[in-house]
Amino acid sequence: MSNTAIWCRRFGVPEEILQIENTDTEALKENYIRVKMNLSPINASDLIPVTGAYGHRITPPFIVGYEGVGEVLVATDKWSHLKGRRVLPLRGPGTWQSIVDCNAELAIPVPTNISDELAARAYINPLAALMMLRFFPVKGKRVLLTAAGSDCALYLGQWAIRFGAKSVAGIHRSPIHHKKFLHVEYCQ
């Protein structure tokens, strides 16, 4: 089966050094599933390792991309119930490729009522926001968000209110972010 992937083969500016490569898929490993990607978004966190900023733990060559959603094409016996299901193929090889082989135990099945668009971005920013709110409980507190127009801050602001924050104020740069929050005060 042919696969198209975006590779980082040396550190640098993403748009200058990333390259598209076509290869044939290898035999599927035991306990792995083969996923045909529907959507692979671009997150800030996808680009940081390309620049070398995480060079102490991620070195080229690697396929880029941490998030995305796809449909299971091939699943070995134990995992045959996943065939045809949409999953998040997390914590495996990069998601910026048309076919991702990932460890079935780490794949997250996606409920049918969640769209591809939402599922594809359900990992990095939602979990980062949730972890922050768990480590720094906001109940009864007044919260100030910087870069409040960012996707991560969008989750933080809404969930801070839900977790009992007294108020959430956001500082943002571009006026296009004004309408993003319903219950948030803004100052520019």
**Does residue 150 bind ligand NAP (CB under 6 A)?**
yes
**Does residue 53 bind ligand NAP (CB under 6 A)?**
no
Query: What's the min distance (Å) between Cβ of 53 and ligand NAP?
Result: 10
Binds ligand NAP (CB under 6 A): choice among 174, 179, 182, 187: 174
Query: What's the min distance (Å) between Cβ of 80 and ligand NAP?
Result: 33
User: Could you give the CA distance from residue 59 to residue 62 in angstroms, rounded to a whole number?
Assistant: 7
Q: What would the two tokens of residue 170 be? A: 């956001």
Burial class, 25, CB count within 10 angstroms (exposed 0-12 / middle 13-18 / buried 19+): middle
Backbone angles phi, psi at 165, to 5 degrees: -65, 145
**3-class secondary-structure state, position 164:** coil
Binds ligand NAP (CB under 6 A): choice among 59, 136, 147, 167: 147
| Closest to ligand NAP by CB, 51 or 76 | 51
**3-class secondary-structure state, position 130:** helix
User: Could you give the CA distance from residue 176 to residue 135 in angstroms, rounded to a whole number?
Assistant: 30
**Does residue 44 bind ligand NAP (CB under 6 A)?**
yes
**Alpha-carbon dihedral angle through residues 117, 119, 152, 5, given to the nearest 10 degrees:** -80
**Does residue 124 bind ligand NAP (CB under 6 A)?**
yes
**Does residue 128 bind ligand NAP (CB under 6 A)?**
yes
Q: Of residues 81-120, which lie at the interface with ligand NAP (CB under 6 A)? A: none
Of how many residues is the chain composed?
188
Query: What's the min distance (Å) between Cβ of 123 and ligand NAP?
Result: 9
Which listed range, 19-27, 73-81, 148-156, 179-187, lies at the site for ligand NAP (CB under 6 A)?
Answer: 148-156
**Does residue 20 bind ligand NAP (CB under 6 A)?**
no
Contact between 87 and 111 under an 8 Å Cβ cutoff? The reply is: no
The binding site for ligand NAP (CB under 6 A) comprises: 43-45, 48, 124-125, 128, 147, 149-152, 172-174
